[in-house]
C-alpha cells in the first residue's frame, strides 16, 4: 500500500573520506577533501532531525582518506571526523560504521575503539520488525588489513593474491580492494542460516560491492563471486549496500538488490550525498539527498 508507514528508517552515507588536502581529480571527477567536514555536519544534522526519528545512521566505510603528511596528520583528521559524528548524532541516534580501505590509514584498534566496532570487525544485529543487519569487513583479507604479517588474515590474503593475479578475468585484484576470509565467510553462512530459522530478512553492508554489476568490475571485493553465491543461496538475504565506488551503482540478481551508494567526497560544492532509507513490509524506499540516487526496491 503506497501510503503505509515504514517499519523503520535509517540514514545512509558512504565515503566521507576526509583529508586536509587540495582537491583531487580522478577520472575527471573532483574530490573536494576540505569540503567534507561541512557537508558531513549538514548531512548528519538533517538525519538527526528527520521525523519520525531514524533507528540509526550507517556509514559504509572510508571515513578518512589518509594523508602523505604522516601518521600524526592522519590521526588528527580521523579525530575531527569521528568527533563530527559524535557531536551531530549524540547518544540518541546510533552510528553503524563499516571499515573501508582508506579507514586503515589509522590503526585498526583506533577504529574499533572510537567507532564502537566489535573486535571481529564483522557483526550481526537485529533491526526489529523481522529484519537483521549483517555487516561484513572486506578489508580483512587485503594487503592493508593492519593484521600482523604472521596472522591467518595476512596469510590468506597472500595466498588469494597469488592464486588470482590481476587480469581481465579478475580486474578487482587491485591493492585498494580486499575481501573476506574463509572464517568470515563461514560466519556469514551461519548468520544467514540463523536468520532463516528466525524468519528474518537480511540487509548486508560492506565497503566493497559483492554483487555482479552493482559496481564497476574494478571496484568489486576480491572474492565477490564466492560471497555472492553464499548470499543468493539464502532466502533470508534481500539487499546489500556498499560504498567504495564513488560513482554509485545498482544490480538486481534473482530479485535481490545490490546497491552502491554515491560517495560524499565527490558531492558538488553546495551539494551533498546521503540518503534516508524507509523499510516497509514489501519494499525499501531510498530517498536520496543530493548526489545519491533514489530507488524503490521490492523486498
Q: What is the pLDDT of residues 47-57, one digit of tens each?
A: 999 999 999 99
Give the bridge partners for 14, in sequence order.
Answer: none
Evaluate whether 262 touches 291 at the Cβ level (below 8 Å).
yes
Q: Can you read off the three cell numbers belonging to residue 49?
A: 532531525
- The reported pLDDT for the residue numbered 92 is 87
Q: Residues 89-105: what's their mean pLDDT?
A: 96
Q: Can you read off the three cell numbers belonging to residue 238?
A: 534481500
What 8-state DSSP symbol labels residue 73?
Answer: H
3-state secondary structure 73-132: HHHHHHHHHHHHHHHHHCCCCCEEECCCCHHHHCCHHHHHHHHCCCCCCCEEEEEECCEE
Domain 8-298: give its CATH architecture.
4-Layer Sandwich (3.60)
What 8-state DSSP symbol labels residue 221?
Answer: -
- The reported pLDDT for the residue numbered 4 is 87
* Buried-exposed string 84-95: b where 16+ CB fall within 10 A, e elsewhere: bbeebbeeebeb
Q: Can you read off the three cell numbers belonging to residue 225?
A: 563471486
Which residue shows C-alpha cell 528466525? 198
Q: Residues 189-205: what's their mean pLDDT?
A: 98
* Cα distance between residue 187 and residue 250, in whole Å: 26
- Torsion 249-253-255-258 (CA) sign: negative
Which residue shows C-alpha cell 553464499? 230
Question: Among residues of the chain, what percentage have pLDDT more than 70?
Answer: 99
- pLDDT over threshold 90, residue 2: no
* Cα distance between residue 19 and residue 73, in whole Å: 9
Ranges of each domain in the chain: 8-298
* Cα distance between residue 204 and residue 134, in whole Å: 5
Q: Residues 140-166: what's their mean pLDDT?
A: 97
Give the bridge partners for 273, in sequence order.
Answer: 290
Which residue shows C-alpha cell 532531525? 49
Q: What is the pLDDT of residues 223-273, one digit of tens each?
A: 999 999 999 999 999 999 999 999 999 999 999 999 999 999 999 999 999
Evaluate whether 103 touches 64 at the Cβ level (below 8 Å).
yes
pLDDT band with cut points at 50, 70 and 90 for residue 3: low
pLDDT band with cut points at 50, 70 and 90 for residue 1: very low
Q: Can you read off the three cell numbers belonging to residue 78?
A: 580521523
- The reported pLDDT for the residue numbered 20 is 98
Query: Residue 257: left if φ>0, alpha if ψ -120 to 50, beta else—which one?
Result: beta
Q: Can you read off the three cell numbers belonging to residue 80?
A: 575531527
- pLDDT over threshold 60, residue 119: yes
Taking the whole predicted model, whether its pTM rises above 0.85 is answered as yes
- pLDDT over threshold 70, residue 120: yes
Q: What is the pLDDT of residues 27-86, one digit of tens each?
A: 999 999 999 999 999 999 999 999 999 999 999 999 999 999 999 999 999 999 999 999
* Cα distance between residue 76 and residue 82, in whole Å: 10
* Cα distance between residue 222 and residue 206, in whole Å: 13
- The reported pLDDT for the residue numbered 114 is 97
Amino acid at each position: 500500500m503506497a501510503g503505509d508507514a515504514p517499519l523503520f528508517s535509517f540514514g545512509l552515507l558512504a565515503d566521507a573520506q576526509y583529508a586536509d588536502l587540495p582537491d583531487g581529480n580522478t577520472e575527471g571527477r573532483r574530490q573536494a577533501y576540505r569540503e567534507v567536514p561541512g557537508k558531513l555536519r549538514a548531512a548528519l544534522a538533517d538525519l538527526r532531525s528527520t521525523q519520525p526519528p531514524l533507528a540509526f545512521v550507517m556509514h559504509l566505510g572510508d571515513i578518512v582518506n589518509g594523508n602523505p603528511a604522516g601518521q600524526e596528520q592522519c590521526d588528527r583528521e580521523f579525530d575531527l571526523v569521528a568527533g563530527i559524528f559524535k557531536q551531530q548524532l549524540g547518544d540518541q541516534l546510533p552510528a553503524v560504521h563499516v571499515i573501508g580501505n582508506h579507514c586503515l590509514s589509522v590503526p585498526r584498534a583506533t577504529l574499533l575503539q572510537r567507532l564502537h566496532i566489535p573486535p571481529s570487525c564483522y557483526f550481526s544485529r537485529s533491526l526489529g520488525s523481522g529484519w537483521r543487519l549483517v555487516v561484513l569487513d572486506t578489508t580483512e583479507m587485503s594487503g592493508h588489513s593492519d593484521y600482523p604479517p604472521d596472522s591467518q588474515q595476512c596469510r590468506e590474503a597472500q595466498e588469494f593474491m597469488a592464486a588470482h593475479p590481476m587480469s581481465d578475468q579478475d580486474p578487482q585484484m587491485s591493492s585498494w580492494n580486499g575481501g573476506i576470509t574463509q572464517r568470515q565467510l563461514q560466519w556469514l553462512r551461519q548468520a544467514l542460516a540463523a536468520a532463516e530459522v528466525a524468519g528474518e530478512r537480511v540487509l548486508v553492508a560492506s565497503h566493497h560491492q559483492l554483487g555482479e554489476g552493482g559496481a564497476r568490475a574494478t571496484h568489486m571485493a576480491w572474492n565477490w563471486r564466492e560471497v555472492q553465491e553464499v548470499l543468493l543461496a539464502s532466502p533470508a538475504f534481500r539487499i546489500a549496500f556498499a560504498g567504495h565506488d564513488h560513482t554509485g551503482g545498482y544490480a538486481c540478481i534473482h530479485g535481490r538488490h545490490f546497491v552502491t551508494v554515491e560517495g560524499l567526497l565527490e558531492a558538488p560544492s553546495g551539494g551533498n550525498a546521503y540518503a534516508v532509507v524507509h523499510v516497509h513490509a514489501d519494499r525499501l524506499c531510498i530517498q536520496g539527498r543530493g548526489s545519491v540516487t533514489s530507488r524503490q526496491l521490492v523486498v
